[in-house]
Structure 1
Amino acid sequence: MKAFFEGIQTLFVDFLFKPLDFLRSLELSNWWLANIVSWALVLICFKYIIFWCKELKSHKDNNEENQDTTAHSFLK
């Protein structure tokens, strides 16, 4: 059983985390490039927030949104 968990450790430490180790070592020379994963996640979240706001506006413009306080059964 110990060999199984050591195999998982080897997989992650020696193979899957190598790109992140490279980004960590890059931080001293180029901060922007070292944080590229964080910036990518920020941009993805920003895109979906804009998408969600557009969808909410389109439902509100079509009067499809139920703003009644009893819209949910637990609020009756």
Structure 2
Amino acid sequence: MKDFFYGIEDLFVNTLFAPFDALRSLELENWTLANSFSWIFMLIGFVAFVYWMMELAKYNKNNEEDKSVTAHSYL
């Protein structure tokens, strides 16, 4: 049973967390390049947010949502 847990440890530490270790070493060498990953992720989140708001506005404009008081049972 001990080998099973060591196998799980090996999977996570040596395989799944390897990209995070590479980013950590990259941050020590080049701060700007490491922060560019953060800016890319923020840009992706912003684009997704704008897309979602445009979709909500489209459904609101077409009056497809039931806005009556009895639309949801918890209201």
TM over 0.5: yes
Would you tell me which structure has more helix in proportion to its own residues? 2
Which position in structure 2 is the counterpart of 1:9?
9
Instruction: Determine helix, strand or coil for the equivalent of 1:23.
Output: helix
Secondary structure of the residue aligned to 2:71 is coil
Q: CA RMSD in A?
A: 1.9
* 2:61 match: 61
Unaligned runs of 5+ in 1: none
Does the CA contact (< 8 Å) of 1:26 and 1:34 recur in 2? yes
Q: Report what 1:50 is aligned to.
A: 50
Q: How far did residue 25 of structure 1 move?
A: 1.3
Identity %: 55
Aligned residue for 2:19? 19
Aligned pair in 2 of structure 1 residues 31, 69: CA closer, same or farther (>3 Å)? farther
Q: Is residue 23–residue 33 contact of structure 1 (8 Å, CA) maintained in 2?
A: no
Counterparts of 1:22 and 1:73 in 2: how far apart (Å)? 49
Q: Secondary structure at the match of 1:63?
A: coil
The SS at the match of 1:70 is helix
TM-score scaled by structure 1?
Answer: 0.74
- Could you say what secondary structure the match of 1:56 adopts? helix
Counterpart-to-counterpart distance in 2, 1:24 and 1:47:
27
The change in CA–CA distance for 1:74 and 1:19 in structure 2 (over 3 A counts) is: closer
